[in-house]
Structure 1
């Protein structure tokens, strides 16, 4: 992620431009206390990505407090992600409601990641692309830095492996549960020639917290 073009991005992206040592972090989908974030920090996890939008098309009401707890525990880089609900419609509203909830609660986040995966999408790849582009445009309208969480096995059936410029020009966080904190396994797809973050272990536990484990160089 050491790309000069990304220096305007906050949080995780900025951290990548400032150091050469590898950095480990977690993403979470449940509320995490300040004490647990302290434990995670003490165990070498330096960034957090918190679910802020649920697959039901609603705001995750635990997200703001979890982000605040992470900040209070000294986690230096805290982002959020949204798991969109295609069948719920209103992609811009899903984004706007989530961002406004975090901002109104004083939950300071660096980036929003669009979680593009799962089976709840349209059978029409063009309809899915339109939905994703609407979310991206709303993030642009709101002045929010963003990236995409996905993998080839998810992106390809959902979008037809489309290159959506609003996304492919921004960071990619990809998943491959090989327990290897390395990009050696990555092959280009969807217009992304290199990744930013790898989710290398899923459904794990750290400090008694259910997490997915992530890494960037």
Structure 2
């Protein structure tokens, strides 16, 4: 089991989720094996290297950087944040918040091409700019033209599959973030869309309980067990807001 830290900027809560000023940030990770502390960080805005260094000094070891914005564009800060995170010595992943109204494969191409092109620049050659995984954020999308609600639940499930397969075709490891509420809203039922249990799942349930003991009551998507749980929020570390997660 692990405690995972999520950095955030938010304006309100909606059905147990913090609604971000611009978008929402999520995490995933490996399945639990034994008791061990390896905190994680999730980052959505531009982060100075001093903050990464502070977090590293506070015992955090892993950051997940927002790579793709909810309205269908590459996050302009993704490459700088990856560089700063890696320079500070953190294991680094990225995540994408897809726009349902745009082609899944084209969004994946846009994200991968953008980061690969910039990492060919000399300013990034002094660090290992590669990252580990890409996490797909499956939740209600408020951005114009990007809502899942305009499509059938069956086609939403197929669309998620297009994202997963497109990322895998690029050689990327993939994970999925959602919750019982979000999955039911987008896929039509918590028991629908069971095609992706071969990738890890991370779920949100704010019960202040750092364990998976609630999974049987909030499970979705056919996963027999989760990889990470977001269970509490509103902490501060290195003058930055964080949420608490567990695996």
Normalised by the length of structure 1, the TM-score is: 0.83
48, 51, 56: which is aligned to 1:41? 56
Give 1:23 shift.
2.2
Does residue 85 (structure 1) correspond to residue 96 (structure 2)? The answer is: no
The aligned residue for residue 163 of structure 1 is 193
1:59/1:202 Cα in 2 relative to 1: closer, same or farther (>3 Å)?
Answer: farther
Bigger helix share? 1
How far the C-alpha of 1:90 sits from its partner, in A, is 1.0
1:88-167 residue pairs with structure 2 within 5 A? 89-106=102-119, 107-119=129-141, 120-123=147-150, 124-160=152-188, 161=190, 162-165=192-195, 167=196
Q: Is contact 1:68-1:108 (8 Å) kept?
A: no
Structure 2: tracts of 5 or more residues without a match: 2-27, 120-128, 142-146
Counterparts of 2:209 and 2:54 in 1: how far apart (Å)?
A: 23
Q: Conserved in 1, the CA contact under 8 Å of 2:29 and 2:228? A: no
Correspondent of 2:201 among 158, 165, 172: 172
Give me the TM-score of the superposition, normalised by structure 2: 0.74
Query: Where do 5+ consecutive residues of structure 1 fail to align?
Result: 2-10
Query: 2:233 and 2:205 mapped to 1: Cα distance?
Result: 9
Distance 1:177 1:130, change over 3 A: same
Equivalents in 1 of 2:48, 2:222: separation in Å? 38
Q: Deviations over 1:21-44 (max 9, x none)?
A: 132212111111211011112223
